[in-house]
């Protein structure tokens, strides 16, 4: 068979170790033939956006570049819209899109769109093929750039008439096949290490502020050892949560806008913050109110822009997080550093009181007539040692981020900002992980990509999909009720009543509905044993209030 551009694409993907290609098919037939012949598994989603979210979940869970495809015009537009979460999460997704055939440019062709420009804000590299023989090498380049820290999505436009044209005369050079974040291990200067250690040692109230960069660097073991050796309390952002075990004795909770009261209070009082892999954005700092402006901030990140975007740190160090922690740990060992033991004891005591109050509220909620998310999360926590959890943004991120205990490293993934991400992303995570994956979303988030339950069925993915169902966009409802003087606009918030278990069954999955804790416990036990997708429709109280700071000015939070 004559080698063509589609073959070059398949060869470049295969050479990079790509095993799965996420897509909604869109007419570029030579590409499907080439991918099939190369042994690359095509995962067909129910929309281009869900294909991107699956690729994103797969990339985050595997640490490798994952490709996603959209056809020219509307398909490409859907791909671009879905890449935002991958940008925010520094996820190595490669978007490949068809484009208007070169002979039809500027001729009002069907579905013609100036699509290249819409990828500019959602990619770190945005390319277009100008000559067919360049395609394979450009694919290799896009894959390499996506996987090079700071990782992030890349995009390549290929005119649809190019796929069947003759390709390059030789196989493109294969890109680096190491997992994402494996390169560019920048080491800190020794003088910076000494300065950081001195600032921590002399502080009265130091805190380790853990961001997603610690997870990306795989530096959780070094982090735990530093906290134990130096006696410094730990807090995590929502993104940093997977890098700390809830069982660590120095862990004091989740900080930021979705947070525990205790963690935010401790950071507000701290006089020295070691920010590790956090860009100190609005969510992590509760609207830039944390840490207090008198605190000494030491910020470590592998990306220069992270050190200048929001705070002016007293000491900013450009370095790989794992290398930095390893070197700081070795220096701390040599100098026998122990920082503020009384402060650590107080932080532990405050965290213990928060945990006790959480247990009291959970126990009280167990007897409620309407199922509480507290009960759902408490029941779900029984499986924390054996599952990977994928959560949507908004209230789902708050409930799971603050109240679900991570008992295994790198076993919690969340939408960084795209509602509806969790359901398709959980399918991608399940394809990358051997353990059971549990998706937690709401009825608002589930509505975006409900049809992909059929995708899970088709690929026999044993994912558990928990849908917190209150027939409303509760975040909007609570905003109106508590911050707009009770001026509730029901027509902007409320949905009809949907039986998502029945919907899942209609799409081919198994399913159960839970209206109390006992029913949820039974459904969860059954779902954990299932070898196929299982949808649990959890009917919860619309008034249930999560651990978010949005309403702290008008009401007192208990958690």
For residue 321, what is the domain's CATH number? 3.40.50.1220
- Domain containing 513 — which CATH number? 3.40.50.970
Of 293, 77, 339, whose CA–CA distance to 199 is shortest?
Answer: 339
Residues 387 and 536 in one domain: yes
Q: How many domains does the chain have?
A: 3
Helices 74-82 + 48-62 axis angle, to 10: 40
Question: Of all helices (H) and strands (E), which one includes residue 156?
Answer: strand 154-159
CB atoms < 10 A from the CB of 218, how many? 17
What is the C-alpha to C-alpha distance for residues 551 and 559, in angstroms, rounded to an integer?
13
Residue 33 has which token pair?
A: 């033939």
Q: Assess if residue 70 is contained within a domain.
A: yes
Q: What are the distances in angstroms from CA 506 to CA 46, 87, 500, 501?
A: 16, 35, 10, 9
Query: Do residues 207 and 336 share a domain?
Result: yes
> Is residue 538 one of the residues assigned to a domain?
yes
- Identify the three-state secondary structure at position 390: strand
Asked which of 304, 319, 347 is the last residue of a domain, the reply is: 347
Q: List the one residue out of 377, 418, 359 whose CA is nearest residue 521.
A: 377
Cα–Cα distance measured from residue 232 to residue 235, given in angstroms and rounded to the nearest whole number: 10
Measured CA to CA, the distance from residue 291 to residue 264 in angstroms comes to 9
User: Which stretches in the chain have pLDDT values below 50?
Assistant: 181
Shared domain check, 372 and 336: no
What ranges make up the beta strands (E) of 30-151?
41-44, 66-70, 93-99, 125-128
| CA angle (85, 86, 92) in 5-degree steps | 170
Residue 37 per-residue DSSP state: H
Q: In what order do the strands lie in the sheet with 412-414?
A: 412-414, 387-391, 436-442, 464-469, 534-539, 510-514
Same domain flag for 317 and 202: yes
| 227 contacts: CB under 8 Å, gap ≥ 6 | 208, 233, 234, 248, 250
- pLDDT, residue 337, reads 83
Query: Do 110 and 27 meet the contact criterion of CB atoms below 8 Å apart?
Result: no
Tell me how far apart the alpha carbons of residues 502 and 467 are, in angstroms, rounded to a whole number. Answer: 12
Is 449 domain-assigned? yes
User: What letters, b where the CB count within 10 A reaches 16 and e where it falls short, cover 244-274?
Assistant: bbbebebbbbbbbbbbbbbbbbbbebbbbbb
336 and 374 together in one domain: no
Based on the fold, state whether residues 302 and 395 are members of the same structural domain. Answer: no
3-state secondary structure 256-285: CCECCHHHHHHHHHCCEEEEECCCCCCCCC
The tokens describing 62, both together, are 């595997």
CB contact at 8 A, 400 and 374: no
Question: Is residue 310 situated within a structural domain?
Answer: yes
Q: Are residues 380 and 318 in the same domain?
A: no
CA distance 545 to 526: 28
| Residue 91 and residue 240 in one domain | no
318's tokens: 């450009």
- pTM passes above 0.75: yes
Distance of alpha carbon 5 from alpha carbon 13, whole angstroms: 12
Domain match, 482 and 435 both: yes
Residue 173 lies in a domain: no
pLDDT for position 173? 58
- The whole domain housing 501 covers 366-556
DSSP E strands in 443-479: the ranges are: 464-469
- C-alpha 73/C-alpha 80 separation (Å) is 11
CB 298 within 8 A of CB 318: no
Give the three-class secondary structure for 527. helix
Residues 6+ apart with CB under 8 A from 406: 241, 242, 244, 245, 246, 384, 412
Residue 455 counted as domain residue? yes
Residue 353 inside a domain? The answer is no
CA-to-CA distance for 194 and 190, rounded, in angstroms?
6
Rounded Cα gap, residues 207 and 235, in angstroms: 7
The answer to whether residues 376 and 522 belong to one domain is yes
| Residue count of the chain | 559
Produce one character per residue of 194-212: b if its CB has 16 or more CB atoms within 10 Å, e if not.
ebbbebbbebebbbbbbbb
Say what the pLDDT of residue 502 is: 99
Show the DSSP H helices in 42-128 as ranges. 48-62, 74-82, 84-89
CA–CA distance, 255 with 217 (Å, rounded to integer):
20
**One domain for residues 207 and 132:** no
Considering the domain architecture, whether residues 391 and 289 belong to the same structural domain is answered as no
Would you say residue 166 lies in a domain?
A: no
């Amino acid at each position: 068979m004559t080698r063509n551009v589609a073959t070059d694409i398949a060869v470049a993907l295969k050479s990079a170790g790509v095993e799965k290609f996420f897509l909604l098919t869109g007419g570029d037939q030579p590409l499907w033939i080439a991918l099939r012949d190369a042994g690359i598994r095509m995962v067909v989603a129910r929309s281009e956006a869900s294909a991107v979210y699956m690729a994103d979940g797969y990339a985050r869970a595997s640490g490798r570049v994952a490709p996603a495809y959209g056809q020219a015009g509307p398909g490409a537009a859907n791909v671009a819209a879905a890449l935002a979460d991958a940008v925010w999460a520094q996820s190595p997704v490669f978007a490949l899109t068809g484009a208007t055939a070169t002979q039809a440019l500027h001729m009002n062709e069907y579905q013609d769109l100036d699509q290249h420009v819409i990828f500019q804000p959602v990619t770190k590299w945005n390319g277009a093929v100008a000559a067919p023989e360049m395609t394979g090498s450009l694919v290799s380049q896009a894959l390499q750039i996506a996987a090079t820290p700071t990782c992030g999505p890349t995009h390549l436009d290929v005119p649809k008439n190019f796929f069947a044209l003759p390709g390059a005369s030789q196989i493109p050079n294969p890109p680096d096949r190491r997992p994402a974040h494996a390169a560019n291990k920048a080491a800190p200067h020794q003088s910076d290490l000494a300065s950081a250690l001195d600032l921590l040692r002399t502080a009265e109230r130091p805190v380790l502020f853990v961001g997603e960069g610690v997870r990306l660097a795989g530096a959780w073991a070094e982090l735990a050892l530093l906290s134990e050796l130096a006696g410094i309390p730990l807090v995590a952002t929502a993104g940093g949560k997977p890098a700390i075990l809830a069982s660590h004795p120095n862990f004091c909770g989740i900080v930021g806008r979705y947070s525990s009261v205790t963690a935010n209070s401790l950071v507000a009082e701290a006089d020295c913050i070691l920010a590790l892999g956090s860009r100190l954005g609005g969510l992590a700092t509760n609207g830039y109110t944390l840490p207090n402006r008198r605190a000494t901030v030491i910020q470590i990140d592998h990306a220069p822009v992270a050190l200048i975007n929001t705070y002016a740190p007293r000491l900013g160090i450009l370095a790989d997080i794992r290398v930095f922690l390893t070197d700081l740990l070795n220096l701390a060992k040599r100098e026998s550093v122990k920082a503020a033991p009384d402060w650590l004891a107080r932080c532990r005591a405050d965290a213990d009181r928060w945990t006790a109050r959480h247990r009291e509220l959970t126990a009280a909620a167990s007897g409620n007539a309407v199922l509480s998310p507290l009960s759902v999360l408490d029941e779900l926590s029984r499986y924390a040692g054996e599952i990977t959890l994928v959560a949507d943004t908004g209230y789902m991120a708050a409930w799971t981020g603050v109240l679900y205990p991570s008992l295994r490293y790198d076993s919690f993934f969340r939408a960084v900002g795209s509602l509806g991400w969790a359901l398709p992303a959980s399918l991608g995570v399940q394809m990358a992980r051997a353990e059971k994956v549990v998706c937690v979303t709401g009825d608002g988030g589930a509505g975006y990509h409900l049809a992909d339950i059929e995708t899970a069925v088709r690929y026999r993915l044993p994912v558990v999909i928990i849908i917190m169902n209150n027939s409303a966009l509760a975040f909007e409802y609570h905003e109106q009720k508590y911050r707009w003087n009770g001026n509730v606009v029901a027509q902007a918030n409320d949905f009809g009543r949907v039986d998502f278990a029945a919907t899942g069954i209609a799409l081919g999955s198994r399913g159960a509905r839970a209206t109390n804790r006992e029913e949820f416990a039974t459904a969860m036990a059954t779902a954990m044993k299932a070898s196929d997708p299982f949808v649990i429709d959890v009917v919860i109280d619309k008034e249930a209030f999560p651990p978010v700071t949005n309403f702290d000015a008008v009401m007192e939070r208990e958690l």
